[in-house]
Amino acid sequence: MNKNKEQLLNKRYKAEKRFRLYGQSAIFMALLFLTIFIFKIFSTGYSAFQKTWLIVPVTFDAELMMLEQNPSKEDLKDADYYDIALKSMADLDPNANEDQENELKRMVSYFFEREIKRELLNDPSLIGKTKDVYLTASDDLDQVFKGNYPRDLPEDQRRVTDYQLKIFDQLVELGKVESKFNLSFFTYPDSREAELAGIASSFMGSIFSILVCLMIAFPVAVLAAIYLEEFAPKNRFTDFIEVNINNLAAVPSIVFGLLGLGILLAVFQLPRSTPLVGGITLSLMTLPTIIIACRASLKAVPPSIREAALAMGASKMQTTMHHTVPLSMPGTLSGTIIGLAQALGETAPLILIGMVAFVNTIPGSPLDPAASLPVQIYIWAESAERGFVEKVSACIMVLLGFLIIMNLFAQIIRHKFEKKWS
């Protein structure tokens, strides 16, 4: 009997331990996913912040550039750079035949002409002289240099030919290949060529969308929250509004995209693919989030504040506007930032209103067609070229960086400025 009891107790303790272990392993699993996830993104993405350059000697031959004696600045701008650019690439291998010259040309980006032009415009005295110029390597060579591209594949399965690899290795040996910080990733708009693609256009698109979203969602949400929390009578209509808000907070984001498409684009005829429409759509999505946050922080202001103000003869409106609302602002602001961070990461509704269009200019206003950072991630992730994989990860790193900054900011506001009532 006694032994039986002990056995039972042991069994129960074992069950207790097991249960605890389940809980620990669940937490462990969740954190493991997070770690793998972050590790994967960083390990594929960090190399995109470096860019490979080929250092090629360029002879600025006035004759080939169709330049006359003592050219003016305008002449230099209009000069023909294609021939000298082509020639300097062909000169990398004096014995190259025509096909091989073509392959040599494809070792650099199609911007090479422009890069050579920039060099001459910076220093017009170079005419007739030879200078080493940095040219952006093609994305395939860039990947080869970073070690992301398998070199041992058979040649017909590779996008880099054996000949290109041979010349490239020669250049590497001569120290004519350099890896430098990839500034163009931040300053160039999107491009079909991976080596030239940057996030400037989608970044501006995101900024404009978020600004539009903030300018619409914040005032409307705060006013609505003030009404619902401070003035609304308890009746069916108020309940209905409340049910609406709670439901909207859980409606799938893609439905808001359909709203943008069916109402903003089809009925109001707003311009397609623009951050204006994107921002309005996102603002409808963030509205419930901000309303809920603002109401919670209004509710957290103790009634004694209101009673004191009323007792001093302030009207209900004065009490609210002079005391309750300012005291609730830290909570509201941090809720707003968190809502905006959600909006910043939203993709599906923006795809539906056409912000996936290929945009290779940097938008200057919310009325110019643009993509946004998450949509850019989607566009690049769908591209087959290997060079885009690291770009996607790098773009994700930028996006996550922004989200982290925004969330930290929200935390700081909440902890620094929120009054604790006890």
Residues of this chain, 386-415, that bind other proteins according to CB under 8 A: 389, 392-393, 396, 399-400, 403, 407
Q: Which range of residues in 117-125, 172-180, 280-288, 414-422 is near other proteins by CB under 8 A?
A: 280-288
Considering only residues 335 to 374 of the shown chain, the ones binding other proteins according to CB under 8 A are 341-342, 344-348, 351-352, 356, 374
Question: Of these, 64, 228, 305, 310, which contacts other proteins (CB under 8 A)?
Answer: 228
Q: Which range of residues in 85-93, 151-159, 202-210, 282-290 is near other proteins by CB under 8 A?
A: 282-290
- Whole-angstrom Cα distance, residue 240 to residue 238? 5
Minimal distance, residue 239 CB to other proteins, in Å: 12
Question: Of these, 137, 141, 210, 224, which contacts other proteins (CB under 8 A)?
Answer: 224
- Which strand ranges, in their side-by-side order, compose the sheet holding 130-136? 130-136, 50-59, 177-181
Q: Which H helix or E strand runs over 398?
A: helix 387-417
Pick the closest to residue 289 from 350, 224, 227 (CA basis): 224
Minimal distance, residue 184 CB to other proteins, in Å: 22
Minimal distance, residue 1 CB to other proteins, in Å: 18
Does residue 72 bind other proteins (CB under 8 A)?
no
Instruction: Name the pairing type of β-strands 177-181 and 130-136.
Output: unpaired
Minimal distance, residue 222 CB to other proteins, in Å: 8
Cβ pair 226, 296 in contact under 8 A: no
Q: How many helices (H) and strands (E) does the chain have?
A: 18, 3
Residue 182 three-state SS: coil
Strand partners, 212: none
Pick the closest to residue 383 from 216, 199, 194 (CA basis): 194
Q: Which range of residues in 89-97, 127-135, 285-293, 329-337 is near other proteins by CB under 8 A?
A: 285-293
Q: Which range of residues in 88-96, 167-175, 202-210, 219-227 is near other proteins by CB under 8 A?
A: 219-227
Buried b (16+ CB within 10 A) or exposed e, 158-192: bbbbebbbebbeebeeeebbbeeebebbeebbbbe
Considering only residues 8 to 37 of the shown chain, the ones binding other proteins according to CB under 8 A are 12-13, 15-16, 18-20, 22-27, 29-31, 33-34, 37
Q: Name which of 161 and 407 has its Cβ closer to other proteins.
A: 407
Minimal distance, residue 140 CB to other proteins, in Å: 19
**∠ Cα 208 210 215 (to 5°):** 95
- Whole-angstrom Cα distance, residue 341 to residue 413? 15
Does residue 85 bind other proteins (CB under 8 A)?
no
By CB under 8 A, the count of residues binding other proteins is 86
Does residue 231 bind other proteins (CB under 8 A)?
yes
Q: Name which of 92 and 217 has its Cβ closer to other proteins.
A: 217
Cβ count near 125 (within 10 Å): 8
- Residue carrying the six token digits 């269009």: 357
Gyration radius of the chain over CA positions: 30
Close Cβ partners of 267 (under 8 Å, ≥ 6 residues apart): none
Q: Name which of 47 and 164 has its Cβ closer to other proteins.
A: 47
Considering only residues 243 to 272 of the shown chain, the ones binding other proteins according to CB under 8 A are 243-248, 250-259, 261-263, 266
Cβ pair 230, 320 in contact under 8 A: yes
Minimal distance, residue 256 CB to other proteins, in Å: 8
Q: Name which of 85 and 284 has its Cβ closer to other proteins.
A: 284
Counting beta carbons within 10 angstroms of the beta carbon of residue 94, is it exposed (0 to 12), middle (13 to 18) or buried (19 or more)?
exposed
Q: Name which of 160 and 221 has its Cβ closer to other proteins.
A: 221
Q: Which H helix or E strand runs over 53?
A: strand 50-59
Does residue 276 bind other proteins (CB under 8 A)?
no
Considering only residues 287 to 316 of the shown chain, the ones binding other proteins according to CB under 8 A are 287-288, 291, 315-316
Q: Name which of 250 and 312 has its Cβ closer to other proteins.
A: 250
x/- map, 157-196, other proteins, by CB under 8 A: ----------------------------------------
How far from chain centre, in Å, is Cα 146? Answer: 23
